[in-house]
Amino acid sequence: MNSPVRQPHLGIQLHVDLDRDLAPRRNATIEAHLRVEVTATGAAAELPAVELAVVIAVDVAEPRREAVRHALPAALRALPDDISFTVLGGGPEPERCYPLGDREWAVADARERRRAAFAAGAVPLHRDGPRPAGYAVWAARARALLAARPLSVRHLVLITDGSSAADGSGLAAELDVCAGQFTCDVFAVGSDFAPDPLLALAERLHGTAESVESGLASAITGAVARLRRVHTPRLPVEVTARPAVRQVSLAEKAPRPHRLGGLPQPGRPHRWHFPAYQWEPGGYDYLLTLVADADGDPLDTDLLFAMVSVGEAHAPVTARWHRRAEPPPPGLAGGSSVRSMNATTAMRAALRKGLHALREQRKDQAEELLGQAARLATRYGAAWVLREIGTVADVEDAASGRVRVRSTVDAHTLGGMILRAGSRPGGPLTDLADRPPGPRCRHCGTLAGSEARYCVACGEELL
Please report, rounded to a whole number, the percentage of residues in the chain having pLDDT higher than 90: 53
Q: Which CATH class is domain 10-37+233-324?
A: mainly beta
pLDDT in tens, 381-394: 889 999 999 999 99
Centre a 10 Å sphere on the Cβ of residue 306 and count the other Cβ atoms it contains: 24
Gap between the Cα atoms of 137 and 145, Å rounded: 12
Centre a 10 Å sphere on the Cβ of residue 382 and count the other Cβ atoms it contains: 22
Omega before 255 within 30 of 0, i.e. cis: yes
pLDDT in tens, 185-201: 999 998 889 999 999 99
Q: Is the pTM of this model over 0.85?
A: no
- Local structure of residue 327 (DSSP, 8 states): P
pLDDT in tens, 126-156: 886 666 678 999 999 999 999 999 998 999 9
pLDDT band at 461 (very low <50, low <70, confident <90, very high): low
**Of 332, 351, 343, which Cα lies nearest the Cα of 432?**
343
Gap between the Cα atoms of 111 and 116, Å rounded: 9
Q: How far is CA 432 from the centre of its chain?
A: 17
176 burial level (CB within 10 Å; 0-12, 13-18, 19+): exposed
Same fold, 49-228 and 339-431: no
The secondary element (H helix, E strand) that includes residue 368 is helix 363-380
Task: For residue 102, give the 3-state DSSP assignment.
Answer: coil
**Residue 252 bridge partners (DSSP):** 258, 286
> How does strand 268-274 pair with strand 209-211?
unpaired
63-67, 200-204, 218-222 — most confident range: 218-222
pLDDT in tens, 388-435: 999 999 999 999 999 999 988 888 889 999 998 887 765 544 333 333
- Local structure of residue 440 (DSSP, 8 states): B
pLDDT band at 167 (very low <50, low <70, confident <90, very high): confident
Say what the alpha-carbon torsion angle 443, 444, 449, 452 is, to the nearest 10 degrees. -40
Q: What is the pLDDT of residue 81?
A: 97
- Local structure of residue 413 (DSSP, 8 states): G
- What sign does the dihedral 444-448-453-459 (CA atoms) show? negative
Gap between the Cα atoms of 23 and 9, Å rounded: 41
Contact indicator for 48, 88 with CB cutoff of 8 Å: no
pLDDT in tens, 269-297: 789 999 888 788 888 999 999 999 988 88
Q: What is the pLDDT of residue 449?
A: 42
Q: What angle do CA 396, 400, 405 make, to 5 degrees?
A: 40
Gap between the Cα atoms of 337 and 326, Å rounded: 22
Amino acid, res. 204: R
CATH superfamily of 49-228: von Willebrand factor, type A domain (3.40.50.410)
Q: What is the pLDDT of residue 436?
A: 36
**Can you give the residue ranges of every domain in the chain?**
10-37+233-324, 49-228, 339-431
Q: What is the pLDDT of residue 451?
A: 38
Q: What is the pLDDT of residue 6?
A: 42
Gap between the Cα atoms of 74 and 87, Å rounded: 13
- What sign does the dihedral 415-417-420-422 (CA atoms) show? negative
Query: Above 70 in pLDDT, residue 202?
Result: yes
User: CATH number of the domain at 339-431, out of 1.10.10, 3.30.43, 1.20.120, 3.40.50?
Assistant: 1.20.120
**Of 52, 35, 127, which Cα lies nearest the Cα of 89?**
127
Task: For residue 113, give the 3-state DSSP assignment.
Answer: helix
